[in-house]
Structure 1
Amino acid sequence: MFRESNRKHLLRPGFSNVLRLGYVSLFTDISTEMILGVLPFFVVKELGGTAAILGFIEGVAEAVNHAFRVAAGVVTDKIGRRKPLVLLGYGLSSFSKPLFAVAGSWSHAFAVRVADRAGKGIRTSPRDALISDSVDRSKSGKAFGLHRSLDQLGAIAGPVIAFAVIPLVGIRGVFWLSFLPAVVALFILLFLVRDTSAAAMRRGIFESAREVMSRKFIFILVILGVFSLGAYNFSFILLRAGALGVPEAHIPLVYASLNAAVVVVGLPAGILADRVGKIPVLGLAYMLFAATSAAGLCLTGDALYAFAIAVLFGCYLGIAETVQRAVIPDFASPELKGTAYAIYYTLVGSGSLVANSMFGVLWSIFSPAAAFQYSILTSAASIVALMMFITRREAESGHGGST
């Protein structure tokens, strides 16, 4: 339960906008996750694809996603508006996903998936800038925490809905039905979400990027980059749990417990970050990740232990994804927030590619233990760097800041 003061904050105009954007993400994620749970089976079993083709589809789709995040972040600053690009991105995803239902080959599914991820890339940086613009900087943690929790709630509901309706309508029917929550999201976005305006950027792209790159912002980016180099996907934990004897039927429930943890901690983490500072709370997230990796070294076939690790990882993910997004505007002027998010997402996306590739190589060539040890080292280095940042900031200001 929220305290009365928190309820009042959520009812203020800025937070009402964030809440509506959260509902947009909730319904969009229901639509997306209805599809993602069945898409691998559909591509391989019905469209004649292979595991390699599936990997190719996802790899290209995510590359397109991050490329459009960069472009959209710069464009939103250039035009001084957020909502047009947010609407374009959500619209492209919403109208492309039902086309999976008429796919006759894996190449058709490839085109639809790329269009869907392009839509996500177009909307992400402008949407985060819109969230940041909607509230005072001192409340940005709460704003991003609220949005993250609602977004993840959709990620939980989507697979459950798909599981319930597949026996009634089949996989292709699920693709058609996924359009319904997407339409609800578009309605909320079009009619209920307010746009915010910033001064249109009158500088060139590279000049703007240079202006964003202050000394403190570069320091934070280095820390985020080092951490991202070891931030593996939770699928490796699931793989390890299955190999050690956790019953296959329990694996989806293990993943569901992770998502539930993200929902629970997102908003409290944002509120805590606003009160005690974003950097210390980010350090807590990195400590939880290191603890998860250490627990991965000792993972057994005990399902309860796997559930505990999933909850630990979910707490890390809920805190990190909330606070990292909230801290970016602290280092950028209002008219350059989109560019700052573009740089951030480029860094994190590239780091994620390296992290999962490196983790997989260490896992395959040496051992799972070597992979987890690598991630413990990168997270430890990030924690030390965060401590250095806090120490330097306090030395410069003479007292702790709110960042």
Structure 2
Amino acid sequence: MTGFGEFLGYTFRLISGYFVDRTGKEWPVTILGYALLLSVPLLGFSTTWKVAAIFVLCERLGKAIRSPGKSSMLSHATKHVGTGFGFGILEAIDQLGALVGPLIFTFALTLTGTYKAGFKFMLIPALLTIAFVIYARITVPNPKELEDEIKSQTKVEIKDNKAVYTKKFINYSLFIFFSIVGFVNFPILSYHFLNKKLY
């Protein structure tokens, strides 16, 4: 289920990105993706592994849904400070969250001694995140207006109103695919360590 969740998290970005590109509805898609963060604290209420698996898939799906819309809006918002610098700030904050999130969970787990209580405690950061996203939507309803000048950068060739992916895009996609296909994440490693199959 973990492997399928990772696969879903990367594959569905193509669908979400295509939808955002065609409709221009970055905010609804992004808000929906962040709303699925609620599946993390809901893990604390799951009673069977099947229900927990559904919540894990929902969390991965949420990341896949929100990523293209978020990146699209950031491309407009970062024009004032520089696109590279803006995305660098995003990655730094993202890594900070990847560090603080588990620390918060560990703190709750230490206090209560149960995983369920730890997951339930994650409801607070999940709600705060959704609140900030909604506040950003109210403050900046049209991210494209953040750009002083919109420079068109054609990333795909257009022929007969149909997008024809370039050779560079296909090669890059294949490179990403083969880079990730051999990646083993921690949930899979921890399962084998638990069953003492790696030593």
TM-score over 0.5 (shorter chain): yes
- The answer as to 2:153 corresponding to 1:209 is no
Please give the secondary structure, in 2, of the residue aligned with 1:209: strand
Q: Could you tell me which residue of structure 1 aligns to residue 108 of structure 2?
A: 165
- The answer as to 2:181 corresponding to 1:354 is yes
Change (3 A) 1:209 1:62: farther
Higher mean C-alpha deviation, range 82-91 or range 94-103: 94-103
Please give the secondary structure, in 2, of the residue aligned with 1:136: helix
Q: Which amino acid letter does the alignment assign opposite residue 154 of structure 1?
A: G
Q: Distance in 2 between matches of 1:133 and 1:179?
A: 30
Change (3 A) 1:352 1:107: farther
Q: TM-score, normalised to structure 2's length?
A: 0.74
Structure 1 unmatched runs, 5+: 1-56, 199-203, 229-347, 358-403
Q: Could you tell me which residue of structure 1 aligns to residue 5 of structure 2?
A: 61
Q: Could you tell me which residue of structure 2 aligns to residue 77 of structure 1?
A: 21
- Report the CA distance between 1:182 and its aligned residue: 1.1
Contact 1:87 1:123 (8 Å CA) reproduced: yes
Contact 2:106 2:118 (8 Å CA) reproduced: no
Contact 1:66 1:121 (8 Å CA) reproduced: yes
Q: Distance in 2 between matches of 1:133 and 1:221?
A: 25
Structure holding more helix per residue = 1
- Report the CA distance between 1:66 and its aligned residue: 2.0
Contact 1:90 1:186 (8 Å CA) reproduced: yes
- The answer as to 2:63 corresponding to 1:120 is yes
- The answer as to 2:174 corresponding to 1:174 is no
Contact 2:105 2:121 (8 Å CA) reproduced: no
Write out aligned runs for 1:233-312 (5 A): none
Displaced runs of 4+ in structure 1, greater than 4 A? Answer: none
Change (3 A) 1:139 1:97: same
Q: Could you tell me which residue of structure 1 aligns to residue 89 of structure 2?
A: 146
Q: Distance in 2 between matches of 1:109 and 1:120?
A: 17
Change (3 A) 1:207 1:137: farther
Q: Could you tell me which residue of structure 2 aligns to residue 185 of structure 1?
A: 129
Residues 293-319 of structure 1 show CA distances to partners (whole Å, capped at 9, x for unaligned) of xxxxxxxxxxxxxxxxxxxxxxxxxxx
Q: Could you tell me which residue of structure 1 aligns to residue 168 of structure 2?
A: 219
Aligned-residue sequence identity (percent) comes to 25
Q: Which amino acid letter does the alignment assign opposite residue 74 of structure 2?
A: I
Residues 361-390 of structure 1 show CA distances to partners (whole Å, capped at 9, x for unaligned) of xxxxxxxxxxxxxxxxxxxxxxxxxxxxxx
Structure 2 unmatched runs, 5+: 146-157, 185-199
Change (3 A) 1:220 1:66: closer
Q: TM-score, normalised to structure 1's length?
A: 0.38
